[in-house]
Amino acid sequence: MSKPSPLDDPENAAFAWARYRRLMRLMMGITLSTVIIALAVIYKQVDEVSPHLFIAAALGIGFSMLLMSALMGLVFLSSGTGHDNAVEHDLDKLDPDAAGSNGQHRDRPRDRRTMGWKEGAER
């Protein structure tokens, strides 16, 4: 069973989502200024270009920047509120039949993230 998430508390959730919205407003301003600068550079450097290039450049730059900022904002929200710590990471507890006598999986090699630095040296 997983631990309760800090986002279950309405006060913590309201604070976290307000911070996320503030981050997204900031990133919207940065995105708009980047798009305007990019369109100005394209206009100054390229002669006789179709308006479709400007539309495609604006939509491509804007959509990609906003998508990246939204996903990174969700990562910051999850990490900053402690929501990540509420996840159960012990896979042996979830599937005790898969573990061997010493707690290691029989069919799979040991997880390199959990072994010491000298244990993984022999290759």
pTM, entire model: 0.64
The confidence score (pLDDT) of residue 113 equals 66
Answer whether 6's CB lies under 8 Å from 87's CB. no
Q: Same domain, yes or no, for 35 and 95?
A: no
Q: Same domain, yes or no, for 35 and 62?
A: yes
Question: pLDDT tens, 67-102?
Answer: 999 999 988 888 777 776 666 666 666 665 655 555
Q: Is the pLDDT of residue 118 over 90?
A: no
Q: Same domain, yes or no, for 25 and 74?
A: yes
The confidence score (pLDDT) of residue 42 equals 94
Q: Is pLDDT larger for residue 77 or for residue 4?
A: 77
What does residue 24 show for φ and ψ, rounded to 5 degrees?
-70, -35
**Which residues span the domain enclosing 21?**
6-88
User: Which amino acid, residue 57?
Assistant: A
Q: Same domain, yes or no, for 67 and 109?
A: no
- Per-position b or e across 68-91, b if 16+ CB within 10 A of its CB: ebeeebeeebbeebebeeeeeeee
Instruction: Summarize the chain as % helix, strand, coil (round to 5).
Output: 65, 0, 35
The total number of structural domains in the chain stands at 2
**Helices 10-45 + 51-81 axis angle, to 10:** 150
Q: Is pLDDT larger for residue 38 or for residue 104?
A: 38
Q: Is the pLDDT of residue 109 over 90?
A: no
CA dist., res. 78 & res. 98, Å (int)? 30
Q: Same domain, yes or no, for 71 and 103?
A: no
Question: pLDDT tens, 14-64?
Answer: 888 899 999 999 999 999 999 999 999 999 999 888 999 999 999 999 999
Answer whether 6's CB lies under 8 Å from 83's CB. yes
Q: Same domain, yes or no, for 24 and 51?
A: yes
